[in-house]
Amino acid sequence: MMRLLMANWHKWLALLVFMQLLIWLTTGLYFNSLMDSADNVTTERLVQHEGYLPGRQLYPVQAIAAPPPVAISLVWVLGSPYYQFDYNQPLHDYYLKQRRLFNATTGVPWQISPEQIAKIAEQAYSGRATGSKPVLISPPIDDLPRQQNPLWQVRFADEYSTAIYLDALTGHVIKHTNDRQRFDDLMFTLHFMDYSGSGFFNHPLIIVFATATCLLSLSGGYLLIFGSRQRPAAQSATPVTLTINFASTAEPARLEVRPTDTVFNALSKHNIELPSECGGAGTCGKCRVQCSADTPVNDVEHYHLSEQQLASGIRLGCQQLTGTCQQLQLPYR
């Protein structure tokens, strides 16, 4: 029974591993083709935000009436300087951020307007389509599944369905995407099995898959060592005659076979193939043959055959040695 259990596990694990290997192969070939591809559909353009400080009087940052932040930086938006007060410093840029902006020349709190967002998006786009009205959207965002901060979105009705996502506070471009980029993202997700969008290699699904691969190897090793029928040493040398009565012919066939071969293998060597979906692993139960009623029965046969079938001498060809089942009826009755 252990052998049958192992064979079943091995079969399903092999299917799982094979499917993922197929995905790796397909997506790997896709990435490989990308490297040689001249098919670049991006309409992305760099936006120059930086301006000039000389001649401008910066407002003293200590004089700004706001709770003390954990970090202060000077950021530029469309040529104007702003103080950015950070109230947290997340590990990744897409984690939730708590920030405020102040005009660096007046010290007044500042909020970007939809018109300024539209202007930045227009500068970031080199195509011919016109952008939609900017919309401030909240996570979850389909094009940026990991993003936890609200973003401005501007869509362009071009042939690539381009969309630009901009920081809610500064208006800086976070992502410029289109249908080609979306397909690339899907390929990456499949390749790295990152269906939850964690962005890491070491996620639970990879660990489960690695464990499944180890189990596949272990069950394969077990089946290699214990998977075949035990071969009685005493019978190993002398060939025996396997007599096969075919329902379709009057004359039986007599084959010289090794007594240590299974009926399934012995027949296969003489080009007689028994029905099978598992190639003799004992999991499909299809390779039925008619032996004599007193032929020994093993656990695998008990699992696949009814008591009535066993009593009438039906056995599995991959579980019987030719030395124990020398008279066959095909097909079985």
Residue closer to ligand FES by CB (options 260, 283) is 283
- Is residue 278 close enough to count as binding ligand FES by CB under 6 A? yes
Q: Enter the tokens of residue 304.
A: 């696949």
Distance CA 50, CA 39 (A): 32
Residue closer to ligand FES by CB (options 76, 222) is 222
- Which of the ranges 101-109, 132-140, 189-197, 277-285 carries the binding residues for ligand FES, by CB under 6 A? 277-285
Q: Enter the tokens of residue 271.
A: 């080009």
CB of 271 to ligand FES, least distance (A): 16
What are the residues whose beta carbons fall under 8 Å from the beta carbon of 77, sequence distance 6 or more? 49, 112, 116, 120, 170, 171, 172
Look at strands 163-167 and 173-177 and give their pairing: antiparallel
How many Cα atoms sit within 13 Å of 244 on the Cβ side?
Answer: 22
Residue closer to ligand FES by CB (options 153, 290) is 290
Residue closer to ligand FES by CB (options 14, 187) is 14
Residue closer to ligand FES by CB (options 159, 273) is 273
Q: Enter the tokens of residue 323.
A: 């030395």
Distance CA 266, CA 273 (A): 10
- Nearest one of 230, 253, 156, 326 to 313, comparing CA atoms: 326
Binding track over 284-303 against ligand FES, x by CB under 6 A = xxxx----------------
- Is residue 276 close enough to count as binding ligand FES by CB under 6 A? yes
Contact pick of 81, 171, 259, 282 for ligand FES (by CB under 6 A): 282
Question: Site residues (CB under 6 A) for ligand FES?
Answer: 264, 276, 278, 280, 282-287, 316-318
